Amino acid sequence: MKRNYKMTISYDGTRFYGWERQPGNDMTIQGKIENVLTKMCQLPEGKSVQVIGAGRTDAGVHARAMTCNAVIDTDKTEEEIWKYMNEYLPDDISVNEVRACSDRFHSRYNAIGKTYRYTCWYGLSKPVFDRKYVTVLEQKPDTELMRQAAQILEGTHDFKSFCGNSKMKKSTVRCVDTINIEESGNYIRLYFHGNGFLQNMVRILTGTLLEVGYGNIPVADVQKILDAMSRQAAGPTAPAQGLCLMKVDY
């Protein structure tokens, strides 16, 4: 029977060229999932299952709970689909839930919020066991300055200065309702919650906040960066490996 299924997926993005399917590139997460579902449904040559993701993560970015959906024609139960997918997907992609859902459910259009986490690490030792999921900082930034800057960035703004796509034609206004900076041992974790994020936006926000923490950008300049509406005004794009999509709200 043909039904719409909602799935939540974890992945270690290290080996992949991002979420989005690319022609001729086998190493995308969407591509891997579509291939497994297409195989499961034994579709005729040339036909394939289309998976809709809540958003696109960049190459090297991880996810604890990406949400996606796909219309699948199968006799399998939810649990059987779940087992099949995990059996055939590689070790660095896990399906955590499969649920039949309304035909109208659309992972991207229905998403009302997302949480991203950016993990930094500093110190004389090295983060051996999660080295692929953190960005190592040369020194400890001043997190109090970072929090002051984060307060300026919170809220509804035109985030054009924080958009990695210079040809973006649609609105670059987004609402980032919270940016929380948590410290634990040698870790500094930045949590971003908002209604949507532009390309590279969390990484550019993080790169800018770190520059503030290092004293290279004064807190007072953060409003000017927003006002500049230019990518050149903001700080660097923080490396992909520290970023993880934590949750999509519906």
Please list the helix, strand and coil fractions of the chain in percent, rounded to the nearest 5, in that order: 30, 30, 40
Amino acid at position 219, single letter: V
Query: Of the two residues 127 and 239, which places its CB atom closer to its own copies in the complex?
Result: 127
For residues 157 and 222, the answer to whether their CB atoms sit within 8 Å is no
Q: How far is the CB of 90 from its own copies (least distance, A)?
A: 9
Query: Of the two residues 112 and 128, which places its CB atom closer to its own copies in the complex?
Result: 128
Q: How far is the CB of 159 from its own copies (least distance, A)?
A: 29
Q: How far is the CB of 200 from its own copies (least distance, A)?
A: 23
Altogether, the residues listed in the chain come to a count of: 250
Residue with tokens 């550019």: 204
- Please state, in angstroms and rounded to a whole number, the distance separating the CA atoms of residues 185 and 178: 23
Active site residue 177: no
Q: How far is the CB of 91 from its own copies (least distance, A)?
A: 5
For the record, the structure tokens of 79 come out as 């649990």
What dihedral angle (degrees, nearest 10) is formed by the CA atoms of 163, 238, 18, 107? Answer: -60
> Helical H runs in 73-122?
78-88
Query: Of the two residues 16 and 192, which places its CB atom closer to its own copies in the complex?
Result: 16
For residues 19 and 116, the answer to whether their CB atoms sit within 8 Å is no
Q: One of 26, 58, 130, 227 is an active-site residue; which one?
A: 58
Query: Of the two residues 12 and 211, which places its CB atom closer to its own copies in the complex?
Result: 12
Binding site for its own copies (CB under 8 A): 10-12, 62, 64, 79, 82-83, 86, 89, 91-96, 124-131, 133
Task: Point out the residues that are catalytic.
Answer: 58
